[in-house]
Chain A
Amino acid sequence: MRRASVENMRKALMRSNTRLLLSAVMLFQFSAMLLIAFQERPYDAQALILAAAIPAATWLVTMLFGKIWPVDRAIVILAMLLCSVGVITLSDIARAKSTPMTQAIYAAVGVGAMAFGIAFIRGLKSWKRLVAPAMVLCLLALLSPWVLGKWQYGARNWIVLVQDRLTIQPSEFMKPALILILAAGFSGRPRFLKCVPTIAFAALCCGVLLSQRDLGALLLYFLTTVLMYFAATSNWVVTIGGLGLGGAAAVIAYRAFPYVQTRVAIWKNPWIDPLESGHQIVQALIAIGSGGLFGMGLGLGRPRNIPLYHSDFIFAAIAEEFGLVFSICLLAIYVLVILRGMVVAMNARTSFHSLAAFGIVAMLGLQTMLIVGGNTKLIPLTGVTLPLVSAGGSSLVSTFLSFGILLGISSLNAEDEAKDIERMELREEVFS
């Protein structure tokens, strides 16, 4: 009797928490897509379909995942919100009609990947013996662009599966794998020597990325490794040493590679050469400035003047269309996801799960800061995507997969908590 009431209360609390959020998000998605649909005369059929499909998908995914596993619904809703901001922005600004549709299809694949992530982490009972083969596979995947890829935008980090149709960025897909491998290697409060193979693996990954000139991914891999090592071992000396080593490597890279020097020079003063080298960032800043406080309005701006407006510079495009206020709210949404994710990490029962959740959240935060900082000229630009928002299948699906792992861990936490409550109640019944 009493147990049932406690359970009901818990459920009711969760529901009221997420229901308001869910309705608000669905309302936003619906109204934004509706606005876009009626900007064309008489109406844009594809946008109209998306106006119905996106909120429906958000509702369905939240409810379905919540029914099957006791996952943290707030994270699901926020992930769907971020993803829909991407589709909405692309519907609004993309030159080709197919871009937002492709993005929506990738999002559907991503939701599948998210489900896979949840099931995978829940089913993963013994991970120690999987680490070594996973490392080998991971390195092979990272090396694959040298065989199957080509140079693009000054980096060689793509593999072509179907010519001109399907390309994949292995460095994106290896992000969740890297985090799981690191979490396994660092779990159980190991001594430094026991960590060496894992660190060596991470260093090898970074080396491969450097050879492919994928500076953004390199920076992310490096910082995530350092942060995870620090959280796992609380070893200040090695952590600071590692950061120092990274800093030294950055200085050497700056000296040795002209393209790094160019990036930094552009960052220092893009206005010197606003038509050639500084073109991207100048156009991004102009777009942000033109947007002002409340933006030019959906469909009224001209963010297509920015090169790569749909991927690397989507934040600047959003700032132009929706304005400063909205883009700061977007940052706040990332902060909410991070806070929620950190709670998942802190509630996890094993250090492996805890570290995995932490790694995912830390990487999400770092990646967002790198690209937003780059868009707003706070730091030199590195070509990473704005998680879940930028166009691009690899990044979207891989980020959803990471979110799946995070959600799986949250569901394990919820089950453990439920068991705890049960146990406590049993004890109370016995003692009373």
Chain B
Amino acid sequence: MRELRGKIRLVGTLIVCLFIGLGAWYGMTVYSQGSVWASNPYNQRSSGSTAHMGDISDRDGNLLAHTAADGTREYMPNENVRRALSQTVGDQMGMSGTGVENYYSSTLLNISGSLVDRLRSAFSGAERVGGSIQLTIDAELTSYIASAFPDGKKGAVCVINYRTGEVLSWVSMPNYDPVDLLDGRADDNVEDTAYLNRCLQGLYTPGSTFKIVTLAAALEADPNALNQRFTCSGSWDYEGGKIVCAGGAVHGELDLRTALAESCNVTFGKLAYQLGAERLRATAERFGLNENLKFGDFMIYNSAFPVSARNVGGLVWAGVGQGEVLVTPMHMAMIAGSVANGGMMMKPVLVKRIENSLGIATHTGAPSLYRQVTSASVADVITQSMYQAVRSGTASKAAIPGYTVCGKTGSAETSDDKSVATNAWFAGFVADPEHPYAVAVVVERGGAGGTVAAPIAQKALKKAIEVIG
């Protein structure tokens, strides 16, 4: 009997320990994952009348979404504005999973509200009122950019403030009308990729815009690289392949600044070859590639840089942003912004302010450094090169009279033959502490970055200076 008691005690202790483990695991997962589960698009609680969903407004306080007295959710009256902001604001069905309506549903519904709030509403019998969110987005700028985007084309435009990290505009084409959803599934009124926010979820081959990173790697490895002269004869045969400059251009003898301004593939291919895969990858990863870009306000799909270049060709093409390199437009805007900001990449901010139902601010978006991605001196040289590209190089269509615009174009190949038009890219910024705006533009199958993407970027930056200051 004594042994039996001993074993009962042993098994009893084991069961109690298992319970403690179960409780701990349960508590931990709910604590860490609970709000993620609750903000899942399949959570239909947000469409119910259990709470009055809070307002969403833009940086100037214009209402983007609010709940009417009868409980229906209303968006902006103008359809074009509504559509331009569709993926950013989201919708009641949760079709755009990254939209604020969805990603912040627990705040807007006050699901995670304090105990005091709940007790108050329980005793007063009043409907629980959710918090309201003010975004850093500018509605006027966003709808303007959407209207300036080439008709019928797909793509994305991101405008950020590179000194504060604030997102000023996200435009993702095609878009949809949040008040005209037929049901929870794909409907015929909407193109199937319209729900995607391409700024965050579109992984594109960056093409020549990636030369910014390659140049940074070269300058970091050798500060004297600027004095080095390269010779471009239009093409270069590396071991096992050949790299050519776009449009059959022959750039002759040139230094790195001019190579960036003229977007010389041969020079940057050679540069990547000199650097080697390891150093190029180290710099790319410091700029945030191969990293979980999960921020407090939203998350960006992971940009990718090949972990190990399989052969020389992979390395050479990675140096000009082709091959297996993938970047999202938002990330590219952050890369351009970090160059403008002396190498300091700021943590992106989408939410300017959250107020609870009593109008008390519970959260204010404050600028914070994400990472010093490169040194100030390297950033300065890249800025000069990008300025040269706008002044006299491939990006001249981005110039705004009276402002120092810097930029880099890209025309990214998406197929091995030339059967498909290239994706037109532009990444750039205004080099002016008064107007610290960075932009990234992608037009899918748009053609050349200099003629298609650069004018859109120019309009976006000009409008940003005009409406925001």
Residues of A within 8 A of B (CB): 189, 227, 230-232, 234, 274-275, 282-283, 285-286, 288-294, 296-297, 300-302, 305, 319, 324, 327-328, 331-332, 334-335, 338-339, 342, 345-346, 351, 354-355, 358, 361-362, 365-366, 368-369, 372-373, 376-378
Contacts and interface: CB of A to CB of B under 8 A. Distances in A.
Nearest to B26: A376
Interface stretch (B28-36, B154-162, B206-214): B28-36
A302 B44 contact: yes
Contact of B19 (A275, A324, A365): A365
Nearest to A373: B22
Interface stretch (B110-118, B302-310, B378-386, B395-403): B110-118
Contacts of A373: 22
Contact of A342 (B8, B23, B48): B8
Nearest to A325: B27
Give the 3 A-B residue pairs with the shortest CB-CB distance, closest first.
A289-B37, A289-B38, A342-B12
27 contacts: A231-B8, A231-B11, A232-B7, A234-B3, A274-B42, A282-B42, A285-B33, A286-B38, A289-B33, A289-B37, A289-B38, A292-B38, A292-B111, A292-B112, A297-B118, A300-B50, A302-B45, A319-B30, A328-B26, A331-B23, A338-B15, A351-B4, A361-B15, A362-B11, A365-B18, A373-B22, A376-B22
B235 interface: no
A132 B121 CA distance: 62
A110 to B, nearest CB: 23
Given A292-B112, A334-B19, A361-B12, A285 B37 contact: yes
Given A230-B11, A292-B34, 14 more contacts: A189-B3, A232-B7, A283-B42, A286-B43, A292-B111, A297-B122, A301-B50, A305-B44, A328-B23, A342-B8, A346-B5, A351-B1, A376-B30, A378-B26
A81 B7 CA distance: 29
A345 to B, nearest CB: 5
Contact of A288 (B11, B19, B37, B128): B37
A377 B9 CA distance: 29
Given A331-B22, A376-B29, A358 B11 contact: yes
A283 B118 CA distance: 23
Contacts of B25: 376, 378
A324 B30 contact: yes
B40 interface: yes
B177 to A, nearest CB: 24
A227 B39 CA distance: 42
Contacts of A368: 19
Contacts of B8: 231, 342, 345-346, 354, 358
Contacts of A275: 42
A369 B14 CA distance: 12
A197 B15 CA distance: 27
A294 B45 contact: no
Contacts of B33: 285, 289
Nearest to A332: B23
B16 interface: yes
Interface string B121-150: 010000010000000000000000000000
Contact of B30 (A274, A288, A305, A372): A288
A189 B106 CA distance: 58
A369 B22 contact: yes
A288 B122 contact: no
Contacts of B106: 290, 292
| Most chain B beta-carbon contacts within 10 A, residue among A292, A351, A358, A366 | A292
A302 B111 contact: no
B42 A369 contact: no
A300 B50 CA distance: 7
B9 A342 contact: yes
Interface in B164-212: none
Contacts of A328: 23, 26-27
Interface string B29-71: 1110111111110111100101000000000000000000000
Contacts of A231: 4, 7-8, 11
A354 B1 contact: yes
A286 B45 CA distance: 9
B335 to A, nearest CB: 31
Contacts of B118: 294, 297
Contact of B36 (A289, A335, A354): A289
B22 A290 contact: no
Nearest to A35: B122
B29 A369 contact: no
Contacts of A234: 3-4, 6-7
Nearest to B16: A335
A355 B7 CA distance: 11
A289 B122 contact: no
B11 A227 contact: yes
Contacts of A366: 15
Nearest to A315: B26
B34 A288 contact: yes
A189, A285, A324, A327: residue with the most chain B Cβ atoms closer than 10 Å: A285
Contact of B38 (A290, A300, A339, A351): A290
A94 B118 CA distance: 23
A344 B6 CA distance: 14
A304 B43 CA distance: 12
Nearest to A271: B40
A230 B7 contact: yes
A303 B223 CA distance: 63
Contacts of A319: 30
Contacts of A358: 8, 11
A290 B45 contact: yes
Contacts of B112: 292
A75 to B, nearest CB: 15
Contacts of B39: 289
A362 B15 CA distance: 8
Nearest to A342: B12
Contact of A372 (B26, B29, B50): B26
Nearest to B185: A275
Given A282-B40, A354-B5, A339 B12 contact: yes
B26 A286 contact: no
Given A231-B11, A351-B4, A302 B48 contact: yes
A335 B19 contact: yes
Contact of A354 (B4, B16, B31, B42): B4
Contacts of B50: 296, 300-302
B15 A365 contact: yes
A335 B22 CA distance: 12
B43 to A, nearest CB: 5
Nearest to B42: A274
Given A297-B122, A365-B19, A376-B29, A346 B37 contact: no
Nearest to A335: B19
Nearest to B36: A289
A280 to B, nearest CB: 12
Nearest to B122: A297
Given A286-B43, A328-B27, A351-B1, A369 B19 contact: yes
Contact of A289 (B16, B22, B23, B30): B30
A234 B33 CA distance: 41
